[in-house]
Amino acid sequence: MSVVMATFNGEEFLMEQLASIARQSRCPDDMIVVDDASTDATATILRDFADAAPFPVELVVRSSHLGTSATFEEAMRRATGDILLICDQDDHWHPDKIATMVDRLQANPGALLAFSDSRLVGPTNRQIDRSRWRIAGFTPSEWRSMRDDAFGQMVFRQVVAGCTAAIRSDLLTAALPFPGALQEVAGPIIYDRWLSLVAAAAGPVVLVPEQLIDYRIHEGQQVGIPALRWRRVAPKAVLHLAQLVISTAERNRRNEYLDLHLAEIDKRLTLSGLATDASDRRLALAEEHVRRRIELTAERRNRIRRVIREFHHQDGYRRFSFGLATAVADALR
């Protein structure tokens, strides 16, 4: 079992994060850290930790900066464990984080990914909220929906933060390399969004409702919720409301972006041997819904009728979008 970490100019909180990994009740078999050409003391901190850690640490310090997703990809390629735990540079792992995540994933052999809740803290470790899931509106009723239909939940909404996830190495046969910009619809998809979509398309995912890390919010975050803007844990009510104010052009761009990535996942699962009849069916239904929404752009006369039909379709708005909010937005555009 391997811990994989990507770093960049993380000296402020890095020592605390590394210490929390060294104090785990179950240590990793090894740890792979790739530094993305930091210009502060990050590399020095990492070298000192590698010399003293109670487990092997492989450290790679890049000479040029490539970004978060590319750095995590290199770390994942170097990992040798059957299970990989993804680690950010600025959080704090609770003592049973590794043991709990590994046990839950091993208890669910059909799952390629598990993810936990986390506690939100500020730069000084002051608690901001006891639960990232709670503030995101990810409620117990949605936990049940996620267990029954993880892919349906993840298609339209980012739920998994990479720093709370554990993945099986088998997932990487389909997920790597992380896709770059597919055509010119949008930029590259963020790595944890991609991993969660591929894993959920392939099969079930494991929910771990315990808060196993302190998820730190601060101004210098590489990814996450910089400056308390809640970018990646927006409450679901806000996401519903946003459907009504997104421009037609932006809505079309997002649908085309999603369509391209669903097609890419379909291809990757087939080539990797992870595809099943069930995964093929899940992907086909999601792609059909997204493409029907794309077709609404050119449909004026019968748009409302088609939206109503899609809303009542069991594999339509209620499964793969924000339900009524998205349907109303599509009808009014």
pLDDT, tens digit, 9 for 90 and up, residues 60-109: 999 999 999 999 999 999 999 999 999 999 999 999 999 999 999 999 99
Q: What is the pLDDT of residues 4-40, one digit of tens each?
A: 999 999 999 999 999 999 999 999 999 999 999 999 9
| Range ranked top by mean pLDDT from 1-10, 135-144, 231-240, 319-328 | 1-10
pLDDT computed for residue 43 by the predictor:
98
**In this predicted model, which residue has the larger pLDDT, 220 or 306?**
306
pLDDT computed for residue 104 by the predictor:
98
DSSP notation for 206-233:
EEEEEEEEEEE--TT-SSS-GGG--TTS
The two structure tokens encoding residue 100: 């709990």
**How far is residue 296 from each of residues 301, 316, 320, 327, measured CA to CA in Å?**
10, 14, 16, 11
Q: What is the pLDDT of residues 125-173, one digit of tens each?
A: 888 878 999 888 888 888 888 999 999 999 988 889 999 999 999 999 9
pLDDT grade for 231, boundaries at 50, 70 and 90: very low
**How far is residue 144 from each of residues 14, 266, 331, measured CA to CA in Å?**
35, 25, 30
Residues 2-233, CATH architecture: Alpha-Beta Complex (3.90)
Helix/strand/coil percent split, the chain, to 5: 50, 15, 35
Residue 28: phi, psi to the nearest 5? -70, 160
Q: What is the pLDDT of residues 33-73, one digit of tens each?
A: 999 999 999 999 999 999 999 999 999 999 999 999 999 99
Contacts of 75 (CB under 8 A, 6+ apart): 4, 5, 6, 32, 33, 34, 60
pLDDT grade for 331, boundaries at 50, 70 and 90: confident
Residue ranges covered by each domain of the chain? 2-233, 239-332
For residue 60, what are the β-bridge partners?
34
